[in-house]
Amino acid sequence: MKKPFTFLVLLISLLMLVSCSNQTLYNTEKDIVVTEKKDIPVSFLPQELSIVSVGDSLTQGVGDSTGKGGYVPYLQNLLEETKGVNKADFINYGVRGNRSDQLLKRIKTEEVSESLKKADGVILTIGGNDIMKVVRKNFTNLQVDSFNEQLSDYERNLNEVLSIIRENNPNAVIILVGVYNPFIKMFSDIKEMNQIVADWNRTSEKVLAQYEHTYFVSIENIFENPTSDLLYEDYFHPNDQGYQLIAEAIYNKMLTAPLAEILENLQTEN
């Protein structure tokens, strides 16, 4: 039997009110992938973008002092300063604490479905609360193996979420934001959580690879330094600076291809 995570019980006691694998763990060394930037044609007329943001507390913006929706206003400003973009309209369906099974139910609602049908792009934040579900359920005896079943459920739910989005909108660009280790600030010595987060993110990338026009944005590196001041006072959610860095990570990914795809689709429609 594997040794329970050191000191994690104390952490859960502090975080129970906050919130928002496979047997073989993946190598935590990160592969470096260079993605070629796809330039936006000069001939493009400035377009108005419609983006649907849906997911958990990272989309709702818990920890955001402005109350405007976490990364969303930062990303909106970046997009509206970009060549080819006249305006970027966001519809925010972020709900604190949502897991992948709850997201799956929400995107089937009439309101969200109608928004998805009209969207040029969809940005998802999901997975963190799936991990936290395991932590809460097993916090007295938390082990790596405890995450196996939940990871399988997450993979299945994410696959269905993407399938439903595609049914509603075959052409929208879909961007999934990865998860980060929420315990890094208080318990940076718990290396197992880094492995679990890496495992979750690799699973997300594997599911995305089954669908066209989908992209993954990694944010775990943003929060991996325990001495950085990027978390809200709950030491769990990002603060304003953390959300700004998440927005920049999404924007930089969009510049590699997704934004040009969106603008090409709009140009064709017009």
Element (H, E) at 93: strand 85-94
> What mean pLDDT comes out for the span 161-181?
97
- Is pLDDT above 70 for 204? yes
How big is the CA angle at 183 (ends 11 and 138), to the nearest 5 degrees? 55
Nearest C-alpha neighbor of 147 from the set 217, 209, 197: 197
Residue 263, pLDDT above cutoff 80: yes
Average pLDDT, the chain: 84
Examine residue 254 and state whether it is found in any structural domain, yes or no: yes
Q: Is 257 inside any structural domain?
A: yes
**Residue 117 in this model has a pLDDT that exceeds 50:** yes
The domain tally of the chain equals 1
Does 165 map to a domain?
A: yes
Other Cβ atoms less than 10 A from the Cβ of 253: the count is 18
In order of 46, 121, 141, the CA distances from 25 in angstroms are 46, 33, 19
Q: Read off the pLDDT of residues 214-250 as tens digits, 9 standing for 90 and up.
A: 999 999 999 887 668 898 888 789 999 999 999 999 9
Per-residue model confidence as pLDDT tens digits over 126-154? 999 999 999 888 877 777 788 888 999 99
The CATH code of the domain that includes 143 is: 3.40.50.1110
In a domain, 34, yes or no: no
- How many residues are present in the chain? 270
Three-state DSSP at 259 gives helix
**64, 243 contact by CB (below 8 A):** yes
Residue 118 lies in a domain: yes
Question: Does the pLDDT value for residue 60 go beyond 80?
Answer: yes
Check if the beta carbon of residue 246 is closer than 8 Å to that of residue 238. Answer: yes
Q: Is residue 6 part of a domain?
A: no
Residue 229 in any domain: the answer is yes
Give a yes or no: residue 114 inside a domain: yes
Tokens of 246: 């998440």
End-to-end CA distance of the chain: 61
Answer whether 6's CB lies under 8 Å from 186's CB: no
Q: By the 8 A CB rule, do 270 and 201 touch?
A: no
Please determine, for residue 102, whether its predicted confidence score (pLDDT) is greater than 80: yes
Range of the structural domain that residue 156 is part of: 43-94+102-269
Identify the burial level of 109 via C-beta atoms within 10 angstroms of its C-beta, where 0-12 means exposed, 13-18 middle and 19 or more buried: exposed
Say what the pTM is. 0.84
pLDDT of residue 268: 82
Element containing residue 223 per DSSP (H, E) = none
